[in-house]
């Protein structure tokens, strides 16, 4: 047992102890390996940093600290109280929500202010964030009629793995800001809805806990941020492969973190989350240390999609990080069109899209313009924050129902029947 007085004596850069969740760590040798840099840690030297740590880091982050640097337990430590729950009766009944946008208002009322701003904010003036959604409204359907749609099959595959409709849960950091069960609840919701789950590097639950929540036959992918110490990344990749994750989705659009002006708390605490020195050579190296298929997440131009294929990627996610990185970047639907134009017609590269999807019709438009499936994150987190696992499931189910209805009304009884001529850019296009 270590007293608070003893902890306070170790508050210098050359002798830095910090308490986290009731345990005391000597972080002296870890200061320069912290992904956000030593300056984010030093204000907590000799103190209890639990409140700053919880919600902003996954519990698995502590595994980066060598076991020899665990000094003991903090005497008299009591877990801090969590964010107060919303008052009973303040939320509308879950079944009364008619579309996924309606979850946003409930989530805002249910979450703490800093947590809400982390989830809802985007970069600078948030123009790209707004245009991600608006881009879908610039395309119109050209429905076929007198097609038998008495049965509509929405199922498809992503990297060969079955999904109930062309959607996967895209990775989003720190689901614990929405619900204590965090990524474990999302795993169960994804399984119930028959969709695939991409698990983030910066999770609230450990990657082992999330894998343990997997149902028999359930597929989980892993989103990878790359540490500046590539040995840490190599260890992480090997561990998630052993845990049964089925693909690596390497995020490539975060050499630095975008400036999200409305979020003044959580994102700043994360510091640098990826290695800004990454090049295509890293992609080549990554393929040598894993047998898992590799997907590059954050592609925004055709030339880079071609390079991804040349460097052995199995797929790309056309994404601008939900508008959270470079404000002024094109909406992902427009970037998708360019990517498809650059790739060979017979290219085996699977192309996905995320950003701005809020309706089943958006999913059908994305497929018509060349995506194999779409990723969804923010609306699912809003569902989780509002009603827990049941809310996340409801978001999936609403979009599934809308997708099936849109396909039927467009005269597309199966995913394979969704083609480019099903949409037009203006009223007069054909």
pLDDT tens digit string along 39-79? 777 888 999 988 777 655 655 567 678 888 999 999 988 87
Catalytic residue (one of 253, 304, 327, 362): 253
Catalytic residue (one of 10, 57, 321, 400): 321
**34 a catalytic residue:** no
Catalytic residue (one of 25, 118, 119, 225): 225
Q: Which residues of the chain carry a pLDDT beneath 70?
A: 35-37, 54-61, 63, 80-90, 265-272, 427-430
pLDDT tens digit string along 349-379? 999 999 999 999 999 999 999 999 999 999 9
| Backbone region of residue 251 per phi and psi (left: phi > 0; alpha: psi in -120 to 50; beta: other values) | beta
**253 a catalytic residue:** yes
- Residue span(s) of the chain under CATH 3.10.120.10 come to 4-73
The per-residue pLDDT for 263 is: 82
The per-residue pLDDT for 88 is: 45
Q: How far is CA 298 from CA 39, 51, 166, 199, 204, in A?
A: 29, 32, 19, 16, 22
The per-residue pLDDT for 33 is: 73
Structural fold of domain 102-424: TIM Barrel (3.20.20)
The per-residue pLDDT for 272 is: 61
The per-residue pLDDT for 289 is: 97
Sequence-distant (≥ 6) Cβ neighbours of residue 283 within 8 angstroms: 250, 294, 296, 308, 311, 312, 313
Out of 3.10.120.10, 3.40.50.300, 3.20.20.80, 3.40.50.2000, the CATH code matching 4-73 is 3.10.120.10
- Residue span(s) of the chain under CATH 3.20.20.70 come to 102-424
**119 a catalytic residue:** no
For residues 147 and 409, the answer to whether their CB atoms sit within 8 Å is no
Q: For every residue of the chain, which 3-state class applies, written as one string?
A: CECHHHHHCCEECCEEEEEECCEEEECCCCHHHCCCCHHHCHHHCCCECHHHHECCECHHHHHHCCHHHEEEEECCCCCCCCCCCCCCCCCCCHHHCCCCCHHHHHHHHHCCHHHHHHHHCCCCCCHHHHHHHHHHHHCEECCCCCCCCCCCECCEEECCEEECCCEEECCCCCHHHCCCCHHHHHHHHHHHHCCEEEECCCCCCCHHHHHHCCCCCCCEEEEECCCCCHHHHHHHHHHHHHCCCCCEEEECCCCCCCCCCCCCCHHHHHCCCCCCCCCHHHHHHHHHCCCCCEEEEEECCHHHHHHHHHCCCCEEEECCHHHCCCCCCCCHHHHHHHHHHHCCCCCCCEEEEECCCCCHHHHHHHHHCCCCEEEECHHHHHHHHHHCHHHHHHHHHHHHHHHHHHHHHHCCCEHHHCCHHHEECCCCCC
Whole-prediction pTM: 0.81
The per-residue pLDDT for 85 is: 41
């Amino acid at each position: 047992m270590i007293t608070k007085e003893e902890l306070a004596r170790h508050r210098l850069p050359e002798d830095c102890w910090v308490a986290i969740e009731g345990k005391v760590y000597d972080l002296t040798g870890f200061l320069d390996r912290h992904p956000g840099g030593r300056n984010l840690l030093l204000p907590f030297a000799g103190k209890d940093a639990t409140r700053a740590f919880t919600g902003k880091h996954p519990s698995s982050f502590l595994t980066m600290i060598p076991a020899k640097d665990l000094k003991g337990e903090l005497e008299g430590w009591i877990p801090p109280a969590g964010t107060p729950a919303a008052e009973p009766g303040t939320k509308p009944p879950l079944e009364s929500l008619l579309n996924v946008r309606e979850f946003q208002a409930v989530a805002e009322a249910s979450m703490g202010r800093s947590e809400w701003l982390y989830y809802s904010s985007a970069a600078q003036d948030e123009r790209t964030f707004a245009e991600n959604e608006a881009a879908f409204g610039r395309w119109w359907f050209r429905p076929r009629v007198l097609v038998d749609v008495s049965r509509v099959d929405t199922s498809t595959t992503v990297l060969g793995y079955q999904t109930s409709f062309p959607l996967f849960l895209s990775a989003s950091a720190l689901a614990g800001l929405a619900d204590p069960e965090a990524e474990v609840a999302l795993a169960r919701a994804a399984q119930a809805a028959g969709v695939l789950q991409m698990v983030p590097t910066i999770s609230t639950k450990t990657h082992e806990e999330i894998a343990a929540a997997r149902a028999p036959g359930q597929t989980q992918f892993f989103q990878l941020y790359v540490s500046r110490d590539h040995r840490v990344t190599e260890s992480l990749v090997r561990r998630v492969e052993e845990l049964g994750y089925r693909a690596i989705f390497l995020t490539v659009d975060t050499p630095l973190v975008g400036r999200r002006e409305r979020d003044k708390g959580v994102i700043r605490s994360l510091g640098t989350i990826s290695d800004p020195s990454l090049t295509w050579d890293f992609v080549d190296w990554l393929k040598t240390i894993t047998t898992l298929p590799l997907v590059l997440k954050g592609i925004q131009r055709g030339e880079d999609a071609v390079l991804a294929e040349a460097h052995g990627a199995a797929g790309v996610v056309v994404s601008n990080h939900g508008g959270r990185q470079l404000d002024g970047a094109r909406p992902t639907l427009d970037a998708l069109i360019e990517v498809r134009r650059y790739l060979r017609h017979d290219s085996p590269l699977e192309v996905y899209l995320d950003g701005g999807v809020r309706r089943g019709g958006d999913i059908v438009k994305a497929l018509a313009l060349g995506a194999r499936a779409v990723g969804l994150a923010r609306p699912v987190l809003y569902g989780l924050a509002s009603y827990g696992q049941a809310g996340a499931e409801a978001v999936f189910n609403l979009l599934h129902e809308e997708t099936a209805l849109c396909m039927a009304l467009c005269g597309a009884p199966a995913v394979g029947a969704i083609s480019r001529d099903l949409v037009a850019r203006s009223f007069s296009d054909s």
